[in-house]
Homo-oligomer: A and B are copies of this chain.
């Protein structure tokens, strides 16, 4: 085990995942937040950017060079947009900093798939093999040894936790999986846009990114791993008028004589020792996991079809909470520290 890290920096601290990370890390007894990065020049106090933190953290947001970060921090959480993130991560890793990257840049193993879906050249493709996908329920051992963790997307977290064990156990068919996901609006980030303008999205509901959402190949990749054969899901996200939460309702074809009971048993076995995944009997409800790092999941066989439903908080288990969970694993802290 490494020496315990406790000096932490956050790049891209002005968004919602940045705020949530700060909130969680302020509860972490072994962490000192030392630097908050921004690409803007004004050096605002963190309480100007996040009035929620008034009186709780006395730091300014700064444009930080990799060298400055290396002097001040042992671990960097990177909350930058894709491509910008990999550019920063490349430099931070050269300086031997541990990095937890909340962007999509190191999630897809195949550079070509990345470039096709994200429409940019990958700035740091050579490092892809070094990155570990930060879903502890799948890769806990690897995360413990990692220096670069690709923090999972919010939708993929909900979909993979629902379906991975059932594909692995051969209980559902890899073909024809439909994932109908619904997310609160914070998942869209902090930049004002017409679609997130309150009077437009309040009291409304719509599907978006139909057939084009970038989380689709990320889900495919890990379900393919679970199934041992190519999986191509149809993933359809929806925007729901609430701040937080993702509910994924997954439709699949059961194999053989799989029943509600066999599906539930497989989920219970997979998650028996997991600190943050609960297999529940009633349909999961996003409010029951909001503001927590937990995932609730259930399964049914109805009319010959398998239905698997999971709920998470998109900003916590779907982003910043998972990042802290990964940080704890990487640094030998108790996995649940700051996450209860």
Give the B-binding residues of A (Cβ under 8 A): 16, 26-27, 51-52, 54-56, 176, 178, 180, 182, 184-186, 188, 190-194, 196-208, 210-211, 232-234, 236, 238, 240-245, 247, 249, 251, 253, 275, 278, 280, 282-292, 294, 296, 300, 302-303, 305, 307, 309, 311, 340
Contacts and interface: CB of A to CB of B under 8 A. Distances in A.
Given A186-B199, A206-B285, 9 more contacts: A27-B340, A51-B288, A54-B288, A178-B251, A204-B242, A206-B283, A232-B303, A238-B247, A241-B242
Number of copies: 4
Contact of A241 (B238, B241, B291): B241
A334 to B, nearest CB: 12
B190 A192 contact: no
A291 B233 CA distance: 35
Contacts of A55: 275, 278, 294
A207 B247 contact: yes
Contact of A242 (B188, B205, B285): B205
Nearest to A50: B288
A303 B236 CA distance: 12
A255 to B, nearest CB: 15
26 contacts: A51-B280, A51-B288, A51-B296, A52-B287, A54-B296, A55-B294, A180-B249, A182-B238, A185-B202, A191-B197, A192-B196, A200-B287, A203-B203, A203-B243, A204-B286, A205-B240, A205-B245, A205-B285, A205-B286, A205-B287, A207-B247, A207-B309, A232-B303, A233-B303, A240-B240, A240-B241
Contact of A206 (B194, B238, B247): B247
A322 to B, nearest CB: 17
